[in-house]
Amino acid sequence: MFKKRQPIISNFYDEAYKYFVDKRFIAYNELELAIRNCYVKEAISHLFPVNTESYTSAEEALKKAREEVWMKKIDYTAALKKEQDYYNNNHMHFVACKDYNNPNDFSVDLAIENIVRRAKGL
């Protein structure tokens, strides 16, 4: 009456590639959180008059948030590069991951642009 579903066959190359994809997604999420935090710190810095202690501390927090965005951008770039390298060298061996998107179509700037658009509600 019911057909048994065939399990998805996966090999070593698929499992290794899934690891790289997961690392990139983690790096993307961390980059997104850093960008959102930077927007919050920027908004806070505009709330205070220029020559006040609150403004100074808000500007310092904004500077740290921008540095955090920079570090997360570097992390995402590294994760994307590793995924692209693995894909380029091994995609012909994929079974379960053969229909995954080509990571060579992604870029760090495109990821940041998408994050900013979502954060701004565009």
As a whole number of Å, the CA-based R_g of the chain is 20
pLDDT band at 119 (very low <50, low <70, confident <90, very high): confident
pLDDT band at 3 (very low <50, low <70, confident <90, very high): low
9 — alpha (psi -120 to 50), left (phi > 0) or beta?
Answer: beta
pLDDT band at 9 (very low <50, low <70, confident <90, very high): confident
Model pTM score? 0.86
- What is the C-alpha to C-alpha distance for residues 112 and 38, in angstroms, rounded to an integer? 13
pLDDT score recorded for residue 44: 92
Report pLDDT digits (tens) over 67-117: 999 999 999 999 999 999 999 999 999 998 888 999 999 999 999 999 999
Length of the chain: 122
